[in-house]
Amino acid sequence: MNVNSENLRLVMGFKLKQFRLENGLSLKDLAAKTDLSISYLSEIEKGKKYPKPEKIFQLAEALKISFDELVSLQMNKEFDPLPVVFSSPVIKEFPFRMYGVSPQDLLALITGDPEKSGALIRTFLEIGQDYNMRVEHLLLAALRSYQQMHHNYFEEIENAADAFTEKHHLPASPPLTKEMLQQLLQNEYQYEIDEETLSGYPEVDEIRSIFVCHGNPKLLLQKKLLDSQKAFQMGRELGFQYLKLKERPKSAVRMIASFEQLLNNFKASYFAGALMMNRSQMKEDIRKFLGSPHWDGNKILQLIEKYDVTPEMFLYRLSALMPRFFNLREIIFVRFHHEVGTDNFEMTKIFNLSKLFIPNGIGAK
């Protein structure tokens, strides 16, 4: 079990409640035996407070156990669920607070019926093991849920991108070039941009950029990237800096160690998209496109060229603006990989904003 102050409080609260119930005592009864207030005892049981040694002695005496039994991290068999919760990387990293669930809520669930709650927790963990589910799968699922809750539109980041554009006198009309963003990174945040180093390491060929922070920040970019892709990576770095996102991955999702890193990576990427495809300009262009009496795929291609972005960047930006401003909320974003000269198409990514259920074998990508 990982030992930290929060875990110590939770273990103490868990054991105190179990020993109290074993002795058939209510909070009022225990308060009378220890001269401690009911509210204070309740705070301990909820894992919010850790009592001082003299108060632990009072509690142990009232519960007819030793001081060591109460403070020990060792659990009896009936307390089995708690070590499972604390030791599981899945439960440890999952962002329960995002859904309004606190560690105290989990503690209340477990202490209500340790045997049944322990069986439930172990069942979920075993299912995850059977399906080779890793922590990153759950973190990515949590992020998708977060995006769906907001219809993939985040006003605060949009406003930040607008404020950044105004502050640095960036052009109101697209495109926003790689050179403009590189100059901002170098002048405002003292970045060093290196497009040579990664070329010498074929084992990281799929990684588009790596952030290095030893002294002044350095961004290692794959030289083979399109200028629009390099611009996006630089826009993402500007997002990390301007939004003051401290917890961050060194590179892509595959290097992410926590949900906070994953969420910050998403926010910085969203900022880059909002920077390169200005909300007001995009809304006007979408409105004109939707106002056309007939479908014209060439107009989509013209817009992609106008903003000088990749098709994926453009369509993903649509997934943020269409639900908010055009009430088109049932969107499924699918990316295919096609090798030129072949008839092979491989589905490599899917982002589902609709209510349509998609099997996990596809939806987890």
Residues with Cβ < 8 Å from 3, sequence gap 6 or more?
73
Stretch 3-12: mean pLDDT: 78
Separation between Cα atoms, residue 258 and residue 94, nearest integer Å = 8
Say whether pLDDT at 1 is over 60: no
Assess contact for 207 and 222: CB atoms under 8 A: yes
User: Residue 348: CA atoms inside 13 Å, Cβ hemisphere, count?
Assistant: 9
Query: 13-27: b or e for each residue (b if 16 or more CB lie within 10 Å)?
Result: bbbbbbbbeeeebeb
Stated as kind and residue range, the H or E segment containing 36 is: none
Residues of the chain with CATH 1.10.260.40: 5-88+103-130
| Confidence at residue 338, expressed as pLDDT on a 0 to 100 scale | 85
- Return the top range by mean pLDDT from 141-150, 197-206, 226-235: 226-235
Indicate the class that CATH gives domain 5-88+103-130.
mainly alpha
DSSP 288: H
Task: Indicate the range of 4-8, 82-86, 92-96, 204-208 predicted with least confidence.
Answer: 82-86
Separation between Cα atoms, residue 176 and residue 100, nearest integer Å = 39
- In order of 61, 237, 319, 327, the CA distances from 47 in angstroms are 21, 39, 41, 44
Query: First CA to last CA across the chain, in angstroms?
Result: 32
* Backbone phi, psi, residue 157, to 5°: -75, -35
| Confidence at residue 69, expressed as pLDDT on a 0 to 100 scale | 87
Stretch 337-357: mean pLDDT: 82
Say whether pLDDT at 331 is over 70: yes
Q: What percent of the chain has pLDDT over 90?
A: 50
| Confidence at residue 296, expressed as pLDDT on a 0 to 100 scale | 92
DSSP 243: T
Per-residue pLDDT band at 63 (split at 50, 70, 90): very high
